[in-house]
Amino acid sequence: MMHWPEGWSKGPLAKPDAALICAVGALLALCLAAGSTAAKDCRSPQECIPQLRFGETAALREKAARLLGEQGAREALPHLVEALKGDPGEFVRVNAAEALGRLHSPQSLEPLSEALANDKRELVRRTAAQAIGRLARAEGIAPLSQALQSDADYTVRTAAAMSLGTIGNPSAAESLALALLNDGRSEVRNQAASSLGVLQAPAGAESLAAALAGDAAVRVRVTSAGALQGIASDRVEPALVRALGEDDSTEVRRQAARSLGERGDSSATPVLIQALQADRALSVRQEAAVSLGKVGGVLAKEALTYFAANSKHARLRRTSADALAGIKPEKKPAPEEEKEE
């Protein structure tokens, strides 16, 4: 038996009650209104700029700021600056900061630096630090260095250290070196070491050597060993040799062996052979073999030839043989042409 909804008559040509029609109409109106809000989301700078300025919800303004950055809309710069400085929505300011970094305009530096120094939300400050790095301007070193030294949030300090490496100016080495030696968070010290490796500034060698010798965090020592490989300084070789011979971490010793090989200095050959012979970790012995192949020379060839044939470890025999095969033959000097009498 069919049960008719309340408000409907049961005749064959039944018509809905007027009140029910009104209720259904009101519901449809609400649905259409909700749909119209989504439909008005901006897609072009001409639509997104007013949405950023006047959007009734934070979500609308966030989307506008994000799209303006993705589209590289330089005409939106003053409005993004205004949003970064004064919008009450945290994520609106975050998206505005990111957009300003994407625009790559020198005019973005001042408002981003102000946000990095003064915004109360760490996510905004962190995004501002990242955006300053994206601008890649030397003028950004000062505000980033200040944040690296004094911001209360370690994620902001980490972002500042990363951006100093991204900018790539050697003048940032001093600030990064201080953070590497003094910051209480290993995340910050690790990023400072990594950025010093990117800069390859001799001024950073002493701090990296000190961190490699004494930082409590294994990952900071590993990163420091990797960062040292490209720096031209007389502090580098002794620090890597000590780490290869003495560090209690397998990963640190492996990286030290790798860095010595990448430097290609034949003075490291004896310590690499010692690691090939006696290191307690097979992975370090293999890395030493690879590095000997990169360093080359008569002594390295002799050691690799022996281990390729005689090591009791099959993997070490294979690694030694591969490293030996990769050594480039030394060029013989061209014979002097006989002079005609």
**Given pLDDT bands bounded at 50, 70 and 90, which one contains residue 334?**
low
**Residue 118: its pLDDT value, please?**
98
**What does the pLDDT look like over 243-259, one tens digit per residue?**
999 999 999 999 999 99
> d(Cα 270, Cα 12) in Å, to the nearest integer?
103
Give percent above pLDDT 70 in the chain.
85
- What are the beta bridge partners of residue 16? 8
- What are the beta bridge partners of residue 263? none
**What does the pLDDT look like over 263-275, one tens digit per residue?**
999 999 999 999 9
**Whether residue 14 has pLDDT greater than 60:** no
**Number of Cβ within a 10 Å radius of residue 73:** 20
**Residue 229: its pLDDT value, please?**
95
Helix (H, G, I), strand (E, B) or coil at 202: helix
Question: Are 324 and 304 within 8 A, CB to CB?
Answer: yes
**Whether residue 27 has pLDDT greater than 60:** no
Measuring CA to CA, how many Å separate 259 from each of 95, 148, 192, 196? 40, 28, 18, 15
**Given pLDDT bands bounded at 50, 70 and 90, which one contains residue 319?**
very high
Q: Which two tokens stand for residue 218?
A: 């294994």
**What does the pLDDT look like over 125-161, one tens digit per residue?**
999 999 999 999 999 999 999 999 999 999 999 999 9
DSSP string for 20-42: HHHHHHHHHHHHHHHHHHHHT--
**Whether residue 210 has pLDDT greater than 70:** yes
**Whether residue 340 has pLDDT greater than 70:** no
**Given pLDDT bands bounded at 50, 70 and 90, which one contains residue 41?**
confident
**Whether residue 54 has pLDDT greater than 90:** yes
**Whether residue 18 has pLDDT greater than 70:** no
**Whether residue 335 has pLDDT greater than 90:** no
> d(Cα 292, Cα 251) in Å, to the nearest integer?
18
**Residue 61: its pLDDT value, please?**
97
* 272-301 mean pLDDT: 97
Q: Which of 14-18, 96-100, 106-110 has the lowest mean pLDDT?
A: 14-18
CA atoms 156, 158, 161, 166: torsion sign: negative
**Residue 40: its pLDDT value, please?**
67
**Residue 56: its pLDDT value, please?**
95
Q: Which of 58-67, 164-173, 182-191, 327-336 has the lowest mean pLDDT?
A: 327-336
Distance of CA 202 to the CA centre of its chain: 22
Question: Are 107 and 99 within 8 A, CB to CB?
Answer: no
| pTM score | 0.83
Residues in CB range of 173: below 8 A, 6 or more apart:
196, 199, 201, 203, 204
> d(Cα 212, Cα 246) in Å, to the nearest integer?
11
Question: Are 157 and 183 within 8 A, CB to CB?
Answer: yes
Long-range contacts of 213-218 (CB under 8 A, 24+ apart): 213/239, 213/242, 213/243, 215/186, 215/189, 216/186, 217/186, 217/189, 217/190, 218/249, 218/251, 218/252
**Residue 328: its pLDDT value, please?**
78
Higher-confidence residue: 152 or 6? 152
Four-point Cα dihedral 99, 154, 167, 74, nearest 10: 10
Domains and CATH numbers, the chain: 264-328 (1.25.10.10)
Question: Are 83 and 63 within 8 A, CB to CB?
Answer: no
